[in-house]
Structure 1
Amino acid sequence: MSHSIQDFIKLIAQLRHPKNGCPWDLKQNYESMIPCLIEETYEVVDAIQKKDIRNLREELGDLLLQVVFFSQLASEDNYFNFDDVLNDIAEKIIRRHPHVFSDATAGNEEEALARWNSIKALEKSKTQNQSILDEIPSAFPALMRAQKLQKQCSKIGFDWTEISPVFEKIEEELQEVKEEVNKNPQNKESIEEEIGDLFFATVNLSRHLKCNAEESLRKANHKFEQRFRKVEQKAKEMGKELTALSLIEMDVLWDEVKKEEKIAS
């Protein structure tokens, strides 16, 4: 059986029907659905990173469910409906791609992106924001938001033009973490602040090197997880639990895993 997007919209509306809908769905609101939206978004990302195309299909459906569900909530409140959402994004795509849908030109991806950003900036200027940072959502993951804050400030020249001061700033922030720990190791609030400054400086380095900070850390997490799982496996092959091994013994297994990775590559 084949379903259209309109069929799906009606299906979600039925879930929210006051008389014969689903009790769980009827209890939800904008705020309660935020965790679901975030979870489904990350599950899409996870499927892409694992190159799990079969699962990607399912996860994209789950993500679409979130979009339609939020649109249904808005429709019930007489704010907008899914058709409005669809029309808005379609018009935005057409408006920001004049090199595709009009007579403008873009010879490469850089020119296309520059045109998009130029049109976006013009549109945003009409909203009369109090700050150039207003459009960056506070709910972004911290690394992503740090990079976007820095990028936005860079657009008006608040940025280093060379890489050496960026490295120096990281060294400076690392030294301040050490000093704070040595001065008062119990002052968690001050230490946390200094570590935050170190993270922020490291994100700046990532941005200057044209790397995505969030993606870089995601890959580092994945690499660590894969290596640690292999360490666990090696310990099992030795007939031992990791808890029974010393840190030195675990480090030996870790180094073995790293060596095996180099040989395999």
Structure 2
Amino acid sequence: MAITTLDGIIAALEQTVIFNKTASRTSVAAIPFSIFDLAGMPGAGTLAVGNTAAGIVPTDALAGTPTINAFSGANIGYISKVDFSNTVASRLIVYDRLFSAGAYAFNAAVTLASQPSYSARLPNTDYKGLELWLECVAAFTGNQTIVVTYTNQDGTTGRTTGTIATGIAPTTGRMLRLNLQAGDTGIQKIESVTSSVATVGTFNVHVMRKLWSGRVKFANDGDIHEFTKTGMPQVFADSCLFYIVNADSTSTGLPTIDIDIVNG
């Protein structure tokens, strides 16, 4: 059942999911970077997804992802509070990683088949609002050009992203968000991935659902967002929580994000 009252939040079962990185990454100011493969708690994950033909639906069982306890009965889970900080000024963003495929080569021209569905990880099976991201696994040379073909939120196939030209050679961990075709607001399925121009490098493709973001105003700053600020976004017991750092400087710093998840 859903939590619909303050009494319901107070009475709900609760756990804290801890995310604390002990290694930083060289970044580019005002550019988002993944820190999934860096040491900390949970331990470092592997950037390369390991499946280019069909992709996977990542869960909290994936190495590098914090574990979410099973919810009781038919309970529904929500993010009720986020306690966060970083050693550098930055914006911290948390997603549920719904679908991942890669790592694709710099010259990829792949049509996917038998893709798994991630509909079970969507509130009300609503594909609207989902975002499409690229994640650099191995550094590129040249100005990489990428196009992704997808099925949109309403089931219309053959939709294409705007062609992205990175402008500079992306380094490991750099994240690039792809614009959807005009009029589209979400993604049901990735159909194909095409890359050209660059001569070295690999990348992942992710479909993600944004859960939360918070601003660290200056080095060693932080804040606490309780439920009126988090908005109580729904999460699932197998959600694959994924963190992005958009730093003001050239380091991702050492972020700490403690997430309270309630279910009732």
Please indicate, yes or no, whether the TM-score normalized by the shorter chain is above 0.5: no
TM-score by length of 2: 0.20
| Larger RCO: 1 or 2 (CA < 8 Å, sep 6+) | 2
More strand by percentage = 2
Whichever of the two has the greater Rg, that structure is 1
TM-score by length of 1: 0.20
